[in-house]
């Protein structure tokens, strides 16, 4: 209704359906049944979070792409804006709002008085978490809330908080399986960037390979496999860069690692 779907959204299912009902009635000159006769077949809930910088959004999504896909009914779909996780009861999407807006919506608004520059600046750091809740999941939710099963699920029997809880649970199941792996991916990328920045592309890449061998094989194995001088030279380079290759990463690059938790961050409203 506003020309965009990043914020200023709706939290009342009744209000959404009432608005749609009026639009159709006015557009076609007809009268539709009251909302008591409307049924919910599917509903999408999307929440945006502001990472403040589009490069951070790109990096966050790229890190998700490198994680092993958790076991769901469908296969993960990789597209240029983000990732889609299809399923029988829900479909999840995590994507870059600015990139998606430029492709899908910007052309519709060019001939209007909509302030595109201001809006693009507003959404430049937004990452969007969207869940499509299908009828099978809605039936499960209805059964839990009302302790009965019905064939048609009435719109007025649902409220936003119940549906928001589905959003939370579905994304928690997904991201919980990614949690430890995503942290490793982020930290590995930070280490690689740090080494290349300090020592250049060629030496940085070699030191990162050495670093990864230490993490995977352990110091004792690597020590036996390379010359003593090379081993201690590389260790010295890593230490000078602030990289700890013990049991955990210890590198002071907190501003480069994207520490983002959608269940704790404030929604963009």
Q: Binning pLDDT at 50, 70 and 90, where does residue 172 land?
A: confident
Task: Summarize the confidence of residues 118-133 as an average pLDDT.
Answer: 96
Position 65 scores a pLDDT of: 79
Spell out where 6-157 has E strands. 42-50, 77-79, 82-85, 90-96, 126-134
Q: Is the pLDDT of residue 74 over 60?
A: no
Position 181 scores a pLDDT of: 56
d(CA 206, CA 198): 13
Bridging pattern class, strands 90-96 and 126-134: antiparallel
Task: Summarize the confidence of residues 75-92 as an average pLDDT.
Answer: 83
How many CB atoms within 10 Å of residue 97? 27
Q: Quick one: residue 3, left, alpha or beta (phi over 0 = left, psi -120 to 50 = alpha)?
A: left
Task: Summarize the confidence of residues 102-113 as an average pLDDT.
Answer: 88
pLDDT digits over 50-64, tens only?
999 999 999 888 878
On whether the CB atoms of residues 119 and 154 are closer than 8 A, the answer is no
Spell out where 55-139 has E strands. 77-79, 82-85, 90-96, 126-134
Which tokens hold the place of 128?
């969007």
d(CA 128, CA 125): 10
On whether the CB atoms of residues 3 and 114 are closer than 8 A, the answer is yes
The helix/strand count (H/E) of the chain reads as: 10, 5
Q: Binning pLDDT at 50, 70 and 90, where does residue 180 land?
A: low
Q: What is the mean pLDDT of the chain?
A: 85
d(CA 83, CA 198): 33
Q: Is the pLDDT of residue 261 over 90?
A: no
């Amino acid at each position: 209704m506003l020309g965009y779907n990043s914020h200023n959204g709706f939290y009342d299912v009744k209000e959404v359906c009432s608005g749609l009902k009026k639009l159709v009635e006015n557009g076609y000159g007809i009268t539709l049944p009251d909302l008591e006769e409307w049924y919910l077949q599917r509903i999408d809930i999307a929440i945006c979070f502001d990472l403040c910088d589009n490069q951070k959004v790109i990096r966050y999504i790229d890190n998700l792409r490198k994680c092993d896909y958790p076991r769901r009914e469908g296969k993960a779909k990789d597209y240029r804006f983000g990732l889609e996780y299809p399923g029988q009861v829900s479909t999840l999407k995590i994507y870059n709002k600015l990139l998606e807006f430029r492709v899908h919506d910007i052309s519709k608004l060019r001939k209007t008085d909509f302030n595109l520059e201001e809006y693009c600046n507003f959404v430049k750091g937004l990452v969007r978490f969207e869940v499509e809740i299908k009828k099978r999941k809605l039936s499960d939710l209805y059964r839990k809330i009302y302790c009965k099963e019905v064939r048609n699920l009435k719109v007025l029997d649902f409220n936003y908080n119940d549906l928001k809880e589905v959003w939370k649970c579905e994304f928690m199941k997904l991201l919980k399986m990614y949690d430890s792996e995503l942290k490793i991916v982020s930290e590995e990328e930070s280490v690689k960037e740090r080494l290349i920045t300090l020592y250049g592309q060629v030496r940085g890449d070699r030191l990162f390979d050495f670093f990864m061998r230490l993490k995977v094989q352990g110091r004792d194995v690597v020590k036996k496999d390379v010359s003593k001088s090379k081993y201690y030279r590389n260790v010295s380079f890593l230490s000078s860069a602030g990289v700890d290759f013990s049991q955990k990463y210890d590198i002071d690059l907190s501003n480069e690692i994207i520490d983002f938790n959608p269940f704790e961050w404030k929604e963009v409203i």
